[in-house]
Amino acid sequence: MFTKKGNFMALIQCKECAKEVSSKAKVCPSCGAKVPKKTSLFTWLVLIFMLLIVYSAYNTPSYSPKKIDADSVKTDLKDTSNEVKPEKIKAEPIVRTPVWDVNISKDEMTGEIKAFAHSPVTYPKKRMSFPYHDVRTWMGVGCNKNSECAYFGFSDSPNISNDENQDGYSIIKTRIKWDEKIEDIRLTQDWGDKFLNVKNDAQVISQIESANSIMLELKWHGEQSVHFEYSLKGSKKAISDIRSKCSGS
């Protein structure tokens, strides 16, 4: 049965009085009971479609990734790799014994020879803070035809805290250690210079030739006492070489 608007209308049985009533009616005209709404065909189709989706998802086997054993991966890589393993390379260490070196300079105008013997470059025994964290140092002996001198050279001008300022230079009183023997020493530094000059040159140079090592102590601004250790290996030969150059023999 169709209504005037062309919509389908069905007769259903009232659940209270059992009389026929239109599916479009809201209440039964006989007993006044509420008429239950009939589920439409479209609603049924939607419900069936949703059930099919749920059923399909439930019955589809889920993907479970295979657990990878880390030990087995390491074993496989070890078995298949053709690379040379670092632990299999046995390189013989190159041992170089640091010794004193010699440098010669000549004044082209006067012909005067100056020669210098110096230790290998070294660092503080304990690294200093910025801006002196990369300070390098060496000990040296220099000569010309008339005199000899001993000195400590630095890559940066030493910033000493216990110096005594004089006219154009400073005096530094500190300690020095020859092998196991500790002595007091006086050094001088021209203002802003990178070299600390030894006062008693002859005595210090004699000790350089006979000792094996030397340690210098300096009180550096912003640091505690800083210690510099210099090797004296080969110093005697190097000093002999510069003396022969300075004497012209």
**91 within domain boundaries:** no
Q: Are strands 113-118 and 137-143 parallel, antiparallel or unpaired?
A: antiparallel
Residues 136 and 203 reside in one and the same domain: yes
Residues 130 and 201 reside in one and the same domain: yes
**231 within domain boundaries:** yes
- Quote the domain boundaries for residue 108: 101-247
pLDDT at 176 over 90: yes
Domain harbouring 206, CATH code: 2.60.40.1880
pLDDT at 202 over 80: yes
Higher-confidence residue of 211 and 200: namely 211
Task: Tell me how far apart the alpha carbons of residues 146 and 197 are, in angstroms, rounded to a whole number.
Answer: 17
Residues 139 and 42 reside in one and the same domain: no
pLDDT confidence of 224, banded at 50, 70, 90?
confident
Q: What is the dihedral of CA 27, 33, 35, 36, to 10 degrees?
A: 150
Higher-confidence residue of 140 and 6: namely 140
Residues 119 and 224 reside in one and the same domain: yes
pLDDT at 81 over 50: no
pLDDT score recorded for residue 10: 64
| CA atoms lying within 13 Å on the CB side of residue 31 | 12
Residues 52 and 172 reside in one and the same domain: no
pLDDT score recorded for residue 60: 58
Residue 14 neighbours by CB distance under 10 Å: 20
**6 within domain boundaries:** no
Mean local confidence (pLDDT), 81-109: 65
Mean pLDDT in the chain?
80
Higher-confidence residue of 62 and 197: namely 197
pLDDT at 242 over 60: yes
Residues 240 and 118 reside in one and the same domain: yes
Mean local confidence (pLDDT), 103-124: 93
Give the CA angle between residues 78, 82, 84 to the nearest 5°: 90
Give the position of tokens 């002999």. 240
pLDDT score recorded for residue 80: 44
Higher-confidence residue of 17 and 166: namely 166
Mean local confidence (pLDDT), 228-243: 95
DSSP per position, 162-188: SEEE-SSEEEEEEEEEETTEEEEEEEE
Residues 21 and 111 reside in one and the same domain: no
Residues 28 and 126 reside in one and the same domain: no
Report the SS3 class of residue 105. strand
**89 within domain boundaries:** no
**160 within domain boundaries:** yes
Residue 103 neighbours by CB distance under 10 Å: 13
pLDDT at 147 over 80: yes
**80 within domain boundaries:** no
Give the position of tokens 């390379």. 89
pLDDT score recorded for residue 226: 97
Residues 133 and 184 reside in one and the same domain: yes
**65 within domain boundaries:** no
pLDDT confidence of 122, banded at 50, 70, 90?
very high
Report the SS3 class of residue 207. helix
Task: Tell me how far apart the alpha carbons of residues 158 and 191 are, in angstroms, rounded to a whole number.
Answer: 10
pLDDT confidence of 3, banded at 50, 70, 90?
very low
Closest to 227 (Cα-Cα) out of 177, 185, 173: 177
Residues 115 and 196 reside in one and the same domain: yes
Task: Tell me how far apart the alpha carbons of residues 230 and 119 are, in angstroms, rounded to a whole number.
Answer: 7
**2 within domain boundaries:** no
Q: How many separate domains does the chain show?
A: 2
| H or E element at residue 243 | helix 235-247
Return all residues near 22 (Cβ < 8 A) that are at least 6 apart.
9, 10, 11, 12, 35
Residues 216 and 118 reside in one and the same domain: yes
Does residue 100 contact residue 238 with C-beta atoms inside 8 Å? yes
Does residue 25 contact residue 13 with C-beta atoms inside 8 Å? no
Residues 116 and 232 reside in one and the same domain: yes
pLDDT score recorded for residue 178: 96
Spell out the SS3 assignment of 124-150: ECCCCCCCCCCCCEEEEEEECCCCEEE
pLDDT at 218 over 90: yes
Domain's final residue, options 43, 59, 75: 59
| pLDDT one-digit tens code per residue, 44-79 | 677 787 877 767 766 655 545 444 454 443 444 344
Locate all alpha helices (DSSP H) within 133-227, ordered by sequence: 201-210
Domain's final residue, options 59, 74, 92: 59
